[in-house]
Structure 1
Amino acid sequence: MKYLNYILIIVGAFVAIYAKAGANQNQFVLILGIVLLMIGVYRISKTIPSRKKDEDSGNSENEN
């Protein structure tokens, strides 16, 4: 599953660049590439743990 996210990002970026490179730009292909890119980034960002717990515990120690 982890590799699927990276593949989505790479394919999405490639499709977006390919759609942008042509003189006769196809907006549907550009939008599809951006959507694939954003889905991959979103899925990766869901797996990154939040640092809010660490920051909250660190702030409470400094206040005392």
Structure 2
Amino acid sequence: MNLSRYINIICIIIGGAVAIYANAEAQQNSYVLVGGIVLLMFGIYRTSRGVPSKFDNPKEESFIQTEEDDD
């Protein structure tokens, strides 16, 4: 795994942990909660940039290939 993937995973884990911690307290700190959510979303965004779109190749619309008849 490369460094960029580690950074994404760390952002997601730390952001989720901070958001859960800020939301679990009786007296919620909104700024910490928003910061955790921003860090979480930043990690998710960076991860999703590397996932290719399923619409990149319009010829392959499904996994089922049909045979053409020569009639």
Alignment RMSD, CA only? 1.7
Task: Indicate the structure (1 or 2) with the bigger Cα radius of gyration.
Answer: 2
Deviation, structure 1 residue 51: 1.4
Give the structure with the larger helix fraction.
Answer: 1
Q: Output the amino acid matched with 2:59.
A: S
Report which structure shows greater RCO (CA 8 Å, sep ≥6).
1
In structure 1, stretches of 5+ residues that fail to align are: none
Q: Which residue of 1 aligns with 2:47?
A: 44
TM-score by structure 1 length? 0.86
In structure 2, stretches of 5+ residues that fail to align are: 67-71
Structure 1 residue ranges (4+ consecutive) displaced by more than 3 angstroms after TM superposition? none
Aligned length: 61
